[in-house]
Amino acid sequence: MTLFTGLSAFPLTPTDDDGELKPELLQRFLERIVAAGADSIGLLGSTGGYAYLTPEVRKRTLRAAVECIAGRTPLIVGVGALTTDVAEDLARDAREAGADGLLLAPMSYQPLTDEEVFRHFEAVAAAGELPLCIYNNPGTTKFTFGPDLIARLAELPNVTAVKMPLPADGDYAGEMQRLRAMTPEDFAIGYSGDWGAKDALLAGGACWYSVVAGLLPEPARALTRAALAGNAADAERIDHAFAPLWALFREFGSFRVMFAITDILGFEPITPPRPILTLDQACHTRVEDALRPLLQVVV
Amino acid sequence: MTLFTGLSAFPLTPTDDDGELKPELLQRFLERIVAAGADSIGLLGSTGGYAYLTPEVRKRTLRAAVECIAGRTPLIVGVGALTTDVAEDLARDAREAGADGLLLAPMSYQPLTDEEVFRHFEAVAAAGELPLCIYNNPGTTKFTFGPDLIARLAELPNVTAVKMPLPADGDYAGEMQRLRAMTPEDFAIGYSGDWGAKDALLAGGACWYSVVAGLLPEPARALTRAALAGNAADAERIDHAFAPLWALFREFGSFRVMFAITDILGFEPITPPRPILTLDQACHTRVEDALRPLLQVVV
């Protein structure tokens, strides 16, 4: 398996009230992911709240993760930033710290042109000198990659994968067929959006970039294995157990729900970075109810 | 006139290749604005590229501006940030440094709920203890304020104005009538989007938050004075001279065009923060052509 394939688990980045990393808690999250046999770790992705952290905290987070993982699981790290300068610096730092790959989303304030995004990726991929996955996440970045831009980026050195959002029409197979025809043979097309993961993998997606696997890696790995083996019945069964949680991810955003899950799993309390709010007690109870079927999944 | 009324001019923040402020050039921009008699300066707005600057550079920029302006023109400063903590810190710093008012946009990565935006504004307005204008700029923040949220925010201490985007249906009067009915009597409703300024002011808008006035304050002031005096014919004439520039603002984004204008006006070369690219030579020539009619405006 190459780097951007299988189950990539995205942990939260736990911080205290001053925005400083809580390294022991991060390492507890990482140990669960390694133990469950995830294929990679997606550190400092959207779930890892990279957009809310200073470059200094991001660098410390990466070092704490490298120390804990110690090569047991490949480590991908998000290096997106509003400026190319900062993203280049983070990409260089990621290589120096020992990351295996990069994840780059085109964060934006002024809406970006295709040419600006291309040049940004070109610069950051060159600075990082590591395999890089295009983080296509219009829900947070407000930038949508068309197939032509993905194909152009896939020609760049180091750019070896894309993390796609779920297609609006649900036609995973058609979308992948179009993208495969435009990209090199070893270019890996994976998906995020946990509620579509089963369908994406069954349709031939290379990777599930998974929010939930950051805290519940075992059932996520079981779903991934079943789907990648073409075992649709098992994949459907496990996905069905996840369904109540998927509904809450869609209703409240997976980022907010993940913080509630840490609490329910008995980890020490952490809160999302303001302005993001902690879910209220009624929502919290609904997350608790949604987790129940997952405890019964045979993994 | 109160703080958030009349012509508010938004300068660029000139920086060098390392992202450090060029204070002398900033002060040259500010001197033009003061000399032209703008009613306020909107420092570190979207045109001032606040989203791309570190908090440290933003604080230094504010100090350089305060020193230069020396109370001659009221100074409003953008304190938006992806986290509430950083925005609160900038708001406190703005008061300490001597700003007259704050401009707050709900920058976002994870899409925000209305409640999250409300709490964010409540916290930042309390920290700043200065008159605060709600910066409603969906084109950059991807957050749209509904009238109910604006009305709720207008009840908060210090929140005294809103900077609205141009209404999609062009019905300025209708929109202002609805908002006035829901907000306190002294709440100021102004507009950004330079190409709609003439109509917004003629329809009773309290303020033009103007990009172009950052570099061409004289014709912008002439347009403002004509429109606020109800002199539609003069306002139309001046707006007509601006029309070629408005077309380029809409085509390329005003932020990119403003950098080309600095060059055409003969200031030392500055570039936008990457990933934003400098306009190419063909576009540059078009900006030059668009500026020509403005030199003939009698102000």
User: Tens digit of pLDDT for each residue in B244-285?
Assistant: 999 999 999 999 999 999 999 999 999 999 999 999 999 999
Encode pLDDT of A12-46 as tens digits.
999 998 889 999 999 999 999 999 999 999 999 99
What b/e readout covers A214-230, taking b as 16+ CB neighbours within 10 angstroms? bbbbbbbbbbbbbbbee
* pLDDT for the residue numbered B296: 72
Cα angle B114, B134, B128 (rounded to 5 degrees) comes to 100
Compute the average pLDDT of residues A79-95.
Answer: 98
Phi, psi (rounded to 5 degrees) for A8? -110, 120
Q: Which one of B50, B59, B109, B135 is the catalytic residue?
A: B135
Encode pLDDT of B35-55 as tens digits.
999 999 999 999 999 999 999
Positions of A marked catalytic: 135, 163
Within a domain: A237? no
* pLDDT for the residue numbered A297: 66
Closest partner residue to B109 among A51, A85, A256, by Cβ?
Answer: A51
Encode pLDDT of B101-113 as tens digits.
999 999 999 999 9
Counted residue by residue, chain A has a size of: 299
Compute the average pLDDT of residues B221-241.
Answer: 97
* pLDDT for the residue numbered B31: 98
Within a domain: B135? yes
Is residue A237 within a helix (H) or strand (E), and if so which, with residue range? helix A232-252
Query: What residue type is assigned to position B234 of the chain?
Result: D
Encode pLDDT of A193-209 as tens digits.
999 999 999 999 999 99
Binding residues of A for pyruvate: 47
Cβ-based contacts of B109 with chain A (< 8 Å):
46, 51-52, 107, 140
Q: At what angle do helices B217-228 and B232-252 cross, to 10 degrees?
A: 130
| B111/A contact by beta carbon, under 8 A | yes
* pLDDT for the residue numbered B297: 66
Within a domain: A97? yes
C-beta atoms surrounding A177 within 10 Å? 12
Q: Pull the structure tokens for residue B49.
A: 């590229």
Phi, psi (rounded to 5 degrees) for A156? -75, 145
User: Alpha-carbon distance B165 to B209, whole Å?
Assistant: 10
Instruction: Classify residue A77 by its DSSP letter.
Output: E
User: Alpha-carbon distance A170 to A216, whole Å?
Assistant: 25
**B89 and B63 Cβ atoms separated by less than 8 Å:** no
**pLDDT-derived band at A298, boundaries 50, 70, 90:** low
Within a domain: B215? yes
Which residues pair with residue A134 across a beta bridge? Answer: A104, A162
Residue A251 has pLDDT above 60, yes or no: yes
Encode pLDDT of B70-90 as tens digits.
999 999 999 999 999 999 999
Residue B201 has pLDDT above 80, yes or no: yes
- A/B interface, count of CB pairs below 8 Å: 87
Nearest to A90 by CA among A51, A119, A118: A51
* pLDDT for the residue numbered A296: 72
Within a domain: B176? yes
Dihedral Cα A136, A212, A271, B132, nearest 10 deg: 30
Residue A93 has pLDDT above 70, yes or no: yes
User: Alpha-carbon distance A222 to A38, whole Å?
Assistant: 10
Within a domain: A133? yes
* pLDDT for the residue numbered B41: 98
ipTM attached to this prediction? 0.96
**B48 and B36 Cβ atoms separated by less than 8 Å:** no
Nearest to A208 by CA among A222, A188, A194, A229: A194
Residue B298 has pLDDT above 70, yes or no: no
Q: What is the mean pLDDT of chain B?
A: 96
Compute the average pLDDT of residues B193-208.
Answer: 97
* Cα distance between the two ends of chain B: 21
Residue B60 has pLDDT above 80, yes or no: yes
Residue B209 has pLDDT above 90, yes or no: yes
Q: How many CA atoms lie within 13 A of B262 on its CB side?
A: 25
Compute the average pLDDT of residues B202-223.
Answer: 97
User: Alpha-carbon distance A242 to A234, whole Å?
Assistant: 13
Within a domain: B284? no
Nearest to A135 by CA among A65, A80, A75, A182: A80
**pLDDT-derived band at B14, boundaries 50, 70, 90:** very high
DSSP string, chain B: --TT-EEEE-----B-TTS-B-HHHHHHHHHHHHHHT-SEEEETSTTTTGGGS-HHHHHHHHHHHHHHHTTSS-EEEE---SSHHHHHHHHHHHHHHT-SEEEE----SSPPPHHHHHHHHHHHHHHH-S-EEEE--HHHH-----HHHHHHHHTSTTEEEEEEPPPTT--HHHHHHHHHHHS-TT-EEEE--GGGHHHHHHTT-SEEEESGGGT-HHHHHHHHHHHHTT-HHHHHHHHHHHHHHHHHHHHH-HHHHHHHHHHHTTPPP--PPTTSPPP-HHHHHHHHHHHHHHHT---
Instruction: Classify residue A81 by its DSSP letter.
Output: -
**pLDDT-derived band at B141, boundaries 50, 70, 90:** very high
**A57 and A48 Cβ atoms separated by less than 8 Å:** no
| B266/A contact by beta carbon, under 8 A | no
User: Alpha-carbon distance B56 to B48, whole Å?
Assistant: 15
**pLDDT-derived band at B295, boundaries 50, 70, 90:** confident
Residue B100 has pLDDT above 90, yes or no: yes
| A283/B contact by beta carbon, under 8 A | no
> Is A253 close to B111, i.e. CB distance below 8 A?
yes
Residue B242 has pLDDT above 80, yes or no: yes
Cβ-based contacts of A274 with chain B (< 8 Å):
83-85, 119-120, 123
Instruction: Classify residue A72 by its DSSP letter.
Output: S
Q: How many domains does chain B have?
A: 1
**B104 and B124 Cβ atoms separated by less than 8 Å:** yes
Residue A299 has pLDDT above 80, yes or no: no
User: Alpha-carbon distance B142 to A109, whole Å?
Assistant: 9
Conformational region of residue A79, where left means phi above 0, alpha means psi within -120 to 50, and beta covers everything else: alpha
Enclosing domain of residue A206:
6-229
| B144/A contact by beta carbon, under 8 A | no
| A84/B contact by beta carbon, under 8 A | yes
**pLDDT-derived band at A94, boundaries 50, 70, 90:** very high
Within a domain: B223? yes
- Report the CATH number at residue A155: 3.20.20.70
* pLDDT for the residue numbered A2: 86
Cβ-based contacts of B19 with chain A (< 8 Å):
83, 85
CA separation, residue A142 to residues A22, A105, A193, A288, B110 (Å): 30, 10, 16, 31, 10
User: Alpha-carbon distance B204 to B228, whole Å?
Assistant: 8
Q: Is B50 known to be catalytic?
A: no
User: Alpha-carbon distance B32 to B242, whole Å?
Assistant: 19
